[in-house]
A = this chain, B = another copy of it.
Amino acid sequence: MAVHRFKPEVYWNTIGSHAPALHVNSGDTVETTTVDARGWDEQGEQAAARGNPMTGPIYVNGAEPGDTLAVRFDSIVPNRSWAWASDVLAPNVVDPEYLAKLPAANICRWNVNAAEGYAELDQAEGSYWAGRRLPLRPFLGCFGVAPARGQAISTSTSGEHGGNMDYRGFVAGVTAYFPVFAEGALLHLGDGHAVQGDGEIAGTGLEISMNVTFTVYVLKGRKSGWPRGETADHIFTVGNAKPLDYALQYATTEMLIRLTGEYGLSAQDASQLLGQTVEYDVANIYNPAYSLVCKIHKRWLPDAART
């Protein structure tokens, strides 16, 4: 259970079977940094090429195809005092008939106070945003493991291997789970957001570089099909596909498999549980694959106290 302080020197704009930057054991903790979606680091310098450059990959000893990799985020903290964001909604989330009324998008700057946990729009004088503070809720927009078949997949998109899910639920304290497709799992991470709404519908969150600490575990022989997660209150699954309907199908089916397989419910009992208690989050409706999250409250897990 070592702690590795890892300073990235190379960044990747695809998630794939690249040369490992660090080898760790199951149970180890890694303290590292990520640059923002445009490759700007904590000093605001261009440290990597645009397009969600990734820190890593991190090779987790013993992880093999058919296992699951757990990644618990211990802390995710912005490491600079400003973020950037788009100021107009992405065209694909607006009624096509209305689009002609939208202005062109620009990038604007937000001043970020990580210590006190808020952001303020720069040059907001006279606008709605003057005097308003956005509470921070930092998370990583893009992270995942090397995909199947030796693929190297752009960090603009997502799939069974994770990737650019831009789910605002992946905050510190949450554990993410990925199917392992390659020896060592090869974890990549980056694309920090200081805060973001559901769906990343402006095409960005508050884009920022981060200090990240996380701990990895190899779950030997635990099969999974799509990214999964666990918070203090919920278990969840993630489907990545277009349109949202298909992402929802994948996430829901993965949860059904989890409830019937891992937790032993019958298909009927699990269906009723899902039907009457499921909660969905629209994680992302901007990227080439959209992301939809299916959540069940832990009070419903079989070993939870009955109410």
Interface residues, chain A, CB within 8 Å of chain B? 13-14, 16, 51, 85-104, 106, 108, 121, 127-129, 131-135, 147-154, 195-206, 241-246, 248-250, 252-253, 256-257, 265-282, 285, 288, 290, 292, 300, 302, 306-307
Contacts and interface: CB of A to CB of B under 8 A. Distances in A.
Given A92-B245, A199-B278, 4 more contacts: A96-B249, A151-B152, A201-B275, A241-B242
A307 B133 contact: yes
A278 to B, nearest CB: 4
Contacts of A272: 85, 87, 108, 121, 129, 202
Query: How many chain copies?
Result: 4
Contacts of A108: 268, 272
A131 B288 CA distance: 43
18 contacts: A14-B149, A89-B274, A91-B96, A93-B248, A93-B249, A95-B249, A96-B96, A100-B104, A101-B267, A102-B267, A103-B268, A121-B272, A149-B154, A199-B248, A199-B278, A199-B280, A204-B275, A280-B282
B249 A202 contact: no
Given A95-B253, A100-B99, A128-B302, A276 B153 contact: no
A51 B149 contact: yes
Nearest to A202: B275
A266 B101 CA distance: 12
